[in-house]
Amino acid sequence: MPLPPFSEATARVVFDASSLVGALLKQGSVPERALELARLRDIICLSKPVEEEVRSVFARPRFRHYAARAELILAVLAAAAQVFDPGIAVTDCRDVKDNKYLELALAADAAAIVSSDQDLLVLNGWRGVAILSPADYLRRREIQIGAEAPCKSGSSAPASASVGGAVAGERPQGPGASQPV
């Protein structure tokens, strides 16, 4: 049975490294559009272990041609994400390296994890957390918020603040958020 729509107009969302690699590889891709929608409408959640994995993946030799985009995506995450210290251990994922995303989702009280990793996607609905592909996240959020709904800031952010442009803005603060990584 599918999960109901996110209950909040602005939801907390975790992106895993696989979905961010999709955003890295192709400008305008579904993963990049999902990241941009989350940046504009939701709260992107990050932890030090998640950021370290993303940096490690982006630094792999096969992605060296994307170094400028990698830095841009990392800068967008640094500017837009709330950072959480999970402080809990989860062992529910068959790939133990992916438990960090479940831990972050619990600590942040996230509505969703956006992933292209089957080890996470098979857990959709885990402890009430939607675990969605970038395409499914886009579909669910676009249906819920509608094409004309205002951004979380109350207005559309300029294109220069997007994943495809220069980075602007500050890291949101809130309950459970910590200092930048």
- Six token digits for residue 149: 């709904």
Rounded Cα distance, 69 and 78, in Å: 14
Q: Does a structural domain hold residue 133?
A: yes
pLDDT band at 143 (very low <50, low <70, confident <90, very high): confident
- List pLDDT tens digits, range 34-75: 999 999 999 999 999 999 999 999 999 999 999 999 999 999
The CATH number that applies at residue 79 is 3.40.50.1010
pLDDT band at 120 (very low <50, low <70, confident <90, very high): very high
Q: Does a structural domain hold residue 85?
A: yes
Q: Does a structural domain hold residue 26?
A: yes
pLDDT for position 10: 85
Task: Decide: 166 and 160 in contact? Cβ < 8 Å.
Answer: yes
Q: Does a structural domain hold residue 168?
A: no
pLDDT for position 95: 78
Q: Does a structural domain hold residue 134?
A: yes
Q: Does a structural domain hold residue 158?
A: no
Please give the sequence-ordered ranges of beta strands (E in DSSP) within the chain, or none if there are none. Answer: 12-15, 43-46, 82-83, 112-114, 130-132
Residue among 76, 89, 108 at smallest CA distance from 177: 108
Rounded Cα distance, 21 and 73, in Å: 10
Q: Does a structural domain hold residue 175?
A: no
pTM passes above 0.85: no
pLDDT for position 159: 36
Total tally of structural domains belonging to the chain: 1
Residue 80 three-state SS: helix
What value does the mean pLDDT of the chain take? Answer: 83
Boundaries of domain holding 34: 12-146
pLDDT band at 14 (very low <50, low <70, confident <90, very high): very high
Is the pLDDT score of 109 beyond 90? yes
Considering Cα of 180, then 21, then 12, then 158, what sign does the dihedral take?
A: positive
Q: Does a structural domain hold residue 3?
A: no
pLDDT for position 96: 76
Is the pLDDT score of 5 beyond 90? no
- Which positions ≥6 away from 150 have C-beta within 8 Å? none
pLDDT band at 76 (very low <50, low <70, confident <90, very high): very high
